[in-house]
Amino acid sequence: MSILVYIENREGKFHKGAFELVSYAARIAKDTNTTVVALSIGEITKEEMSRAGTYGASKVITVNVPRLTALDNAAYTSVIEQAVSLEAATVVVLASGFTGKAIAPRLSARLKAGLVPAAVTVPVSYNPFVIRKKTFNGKALAEIQVNTAIKIITLNPNSFGLHEMPVSSEIVEFQPAFSERDFGTKVLSTDKQVGKVLLTEADIVVSGGRGMKGPENWGPIEELAGLLGAATSCSRPVADEGWRSHTEHVGQTGKVIAPILYFALGISGAIQHVAGVSSSKVIVAVNKDPEAPIFSVADYGIVGDVQKVLPELIDAVKAFKANA
Ligand SMILES: Cc1cc2nc3c(=O)[nH]c(=O)nc-3n(C[C@H](O)[C@H](O)[C@H](O)COP(=O)(O)OP(=O)(O)OC[C@H]3O[C@@H](n4cnc5c(N)ncnc54)[C@H](O)[C@@H]3O)c2cc1C
């Protein structure tokens, strides 16, 4: 029996989100008196893999197969399914990002395992197995009870945090078996997020909406983000218009984020947008319309023209940094 956690790497490096998942799995393992096995797919050094031990993974299984170089959800599901069986895992933890959204339901169907998507807590009870998740676009919390032998959880980013629990970590290479049905799709191109700060892991996010009027006005957003060490994001129409890449689109159909500070600049605050950002600790909104729905979820609101307010915000941050 074990807790299996699938952790993604970017260019051979684990990031904060991967270690948050291991921390989360380690807490469940501690509560249920079992161990954590982390699964990594792709080329990654042993040194990097052993970092998972800092957060409580006593075993790291690595799968490095050329056919898996490009993310293929069906093939990755097959690998995780085989690792679950290899480790007799009873709980499987994944991130609730795009990969988790695509893999977890497939895994659930294959393993006949109950799934809690986008959980925000560790189980509130283990017998019965009950976890809280956000529902109604983040406006309410639901308690989900899972009765199957194997349970699958996808965790919202920044919901549990990083908790060190150092253990020595055994690293094991695994060669999964594949059938042709595992490779039913062909990845023709990939659109990777560029930029220094990973959006789903950023503590601060500066986001622009259609009120920014056009892609030529994104310079100040990037400047503010650079000053604050923040990631940039946008509303869906901004990505649909091609002003920004879809890798930055947040909301119901985009990424779900939970930064400490979220700037909504020229964003109306439609329910589908708020669904992706409502777990932010503090929301600051700038909108020229005092009736804009974003103000009902914002902690701080500035009614004004974003083209005027944004340069003032940048100057204020610069002045603060100069005096700090
Ligand atoms: C099924 C479905 C899924 C969806 N998923 C998503 C999603 O994942 N993410 C998402 O974002 N949307 C999503 N949407 C779209 C959503 O309903 C809204 O249309 C969208 O969020 C609006 O984007 P916006 O706020 O940038 O633009 P708008 O609604 O056009 O709002 C622009 C805002 O900018 C303000 N503004 C204008 N000029 C200025 C200025 N000079 N200074 C200050 N403020 C100004 C306006 O007052 C307005 O509030 C989805 C819709 C559907 C139907």
- Joined tokens for residue 137: 């676009």
- Greater pLDDT, 238 or 134: 238
Residue 195 pLDDT more than 70? no
Q: Looking at the structure, tell me whether residues 74 and 179 fall in a common domain.
A: yes
The whole-number pLDDT of residue 197 equals 81
Whether 176 is in the pocket of ligand 1, judged by its Cβ within 6 Å, is no
CB atoms within 10 A of CB 70: 12
Number of domains in the chain: 2
Could you report the per-residue pLDDT of 42-89, keeping only the tens digit for each? 999 989 999 999 999 999 999 999 888 888 899 999 999 999 999 999
pLDDT surpassing 80 at residue 164: yes
Residues in the chain: 324
| Pairing mode of beta strands 13-14, 9-10 | antiparallel
- Sorted by sequence, the CB contacts under 8 Å of residue 259 that are 6+ apart come out as 158, 202, 203, 204, 205, 230, 231, 280, 281
Statement to judge: residues 300 and 152 lie in one domain: no
Shared domain check, 214 and 160: no
Both 235 and 315 in a single domain? Answer: yes
Cα angle vertex 213, ends 211, 218, to 5°? 95
Residues 114 and 244 in one domain: no
In short, whether 254's Cβ falls inside 6 Å of ligand 1 is yes
Boundary (domain end) residue, out of 183, 215, 244: 183
Q: Tell the residue nearest (CA) to atom 38 of ligand 1.
A: 211
The pLDDT > 90 percentage for the chain reads 79
Best residue for ligand 1 mutational test, from 207, 218, 288 (most atoms within 8 Å of Cβ): 288
Chain centre to alpha carbon of residue 94: 9
Assigned domain for 190 exists: no
Same domain, yes or no: 43 and 102: yes
Q: For residues 146 and 216, state if they share a domain.
A: no
Residue pLDDT, tens place only, 106-145: 999 999 999 999 899 999 999 999 999 988 777 789 999 9
Q: Is residue 100 part of a domain?
A: yes
My answer on whether 28 and 123 are in the same domain is yes
pLDDT at residue 188 in the model: 83
pLDDT confidence band for 172 (50 / 70 / 90): very high
The reported pLDDT for the residue numbered 150 is 98
Q: Domain range spanning residue 242?
A: 199-323
Q: Which residues neighbour 126 within 8 Å (Cβ) at sequence distance 6 or greater?
A: 31, 32
**pLDDT for 58:** 97
Give nearest CA residue, ligand 1 atom 14: 272
On whether residue 189 sits in a domain, the answer given is: no
101 C-beta closer than 6 A to ligand 1: no
The finding on whether 267 has its CB within 6 A of some atom of ligand 1 is yes
Separation of CA 273 and ligand 1 centre (Å): 7
Q: Do 96 and 63 fall into the same domain?
A: yes
Beta-carbon contacts of 234 under 8 Å, excluding residues fewer than 6 positions away, are 207, 208, 209, 243, 244, 248, 249, 250
CA of 67 to the centre of ligand 1 (A): 40
Measured in angstroms, how far is the CA atom of residue 225 from the centroid of ligand 1?
Answer: 20
Q: Judge whether residue 194 has pLDDT over 90.
A: no
Domain contains 104: yes
Quick check: is 191 in a domain?
Answer: no
